[in-house]
Each structure stands twice: as C-alpha cells, then as structure tokens.
Amino acid sequence: MKKIIGILSLVIAMICSNNAYAELPEISEPTFERGDLIGSLTVGYGWGFSQRLAVEYGVAGGWIDDRASLGVGAALGNSFTSYYGNLWDQLYVDAICSFHFQFIDRLDTYVQLGLGFGYSFWSNYYYNDNGYAFFDFTGSVGARYYFNSAFAVNAEVGYTAGSYFMAGITYKF
C-alpha cells in the first residue's frame, strides 16, 4: 500500500510540476539571461546598518520555458553598529550564486547564496581590538523590478552583509 501511495504521489507531483508554469502570462523580454552583467548597490538593516555592492554574470539560461537562469558573481559588503560607546564594524567579501525566475514582465525574482570571508573589529573609548577573520555564509530571496531594460530597484530578505532586509538599485550593463 505504501508503494502505491508513493507512486501515485510521484505521478501527481510530475503532472502538477509539468503544468505549474503553463498558466503564467507571456513575457516580452527576459530580465536576466545568459550573458547579462548586472551590478547592484543595496543598503539594509538587521545586525546594524549595512551596505553592499554586488556584480553578477548570467552563466546559463533558457530553462523552464525561457523563464529561469543561473548567475554567479561577487559581493563586497560592510555593516556597522554602535552602542554604549562601542563601535563594531565588519567587512565581507563573498562569491555568490543565484537562481532567477521571471513570473511576469519586468519582475526578476531570485534566490541567492553566498560564501566568503569577513573581517570584524570593534573599539571603544578605552580599547581598540585588532580584529579577527571569519567565514561568511549568506542567503536571501529577492526581487528586482525593471523600469526599463537597464535600470531596476530591488529588495532582499534573508541574511546578507549583516542585514535581514536590504533594498537598493540595480543596473544592467
């Protein structure tokens, strides 16, 4: 009985996944595809105030009815906070990989993962720390809305550069 239920569940999942994107509206122009180069500047808040500069290159595309693509790139970020006379600052350098899927025209949704390293230091009125290095892992879900073929605004939720929410601008070169 368990095998029959498992096989039926697999068949239903295959049928649903095969028709999952069939009802989506047509798109006139892909927002991110193979060969595209984009740059993003974002600011956010979470652990402290953060800013991040990222570049991404489309390495594969044309998946799932020409709506999905894969990008790789790099990001440089900084976050800082101050409390009770203490200043805590962190710098991040990450390699990023993202999966993009376009549901409707001009809207690029993506899942992004990053792995890299960072450097952290803190100071106060009496003591300056030499700092320490650490491994950094980032993950976020985001969306970009393109006003024209090159300029977009974006927002991300997850953990990126010490923030849980980031928003900014994107430019496609």
In a domain, 135, yes or no: yes
What is the pLDDT, as a whole number, of residue 1?
47
Give pTM, 2 decimals: 0.79
Q: How far is CA 91 from CA 77, 78, 107, 120, 136, in A?
A: 6, 5, 30, 7, 10
The CATH number of whichever domain residue 87 belongs to comes to 2.40.160.20
Domain that holds residue 63: 33-172
Across residues 74-91, what is the average pLDDT?
86
Report pLDDT digits (tens) over 23-63: 778 877 888 889 899 999 999 988 789 999 999 999 998 88
Residue 81 in any domain: the answer is yes
Confidence band for 4, pLDDT divided at 50, 70 and 90 = very low
SS3 content of the chain, % helix, strand, coil (to 5): 15, 65, 25
**Residue 53 domain-assigned (yes or no):** yes
The domain tally of the chain equals 1
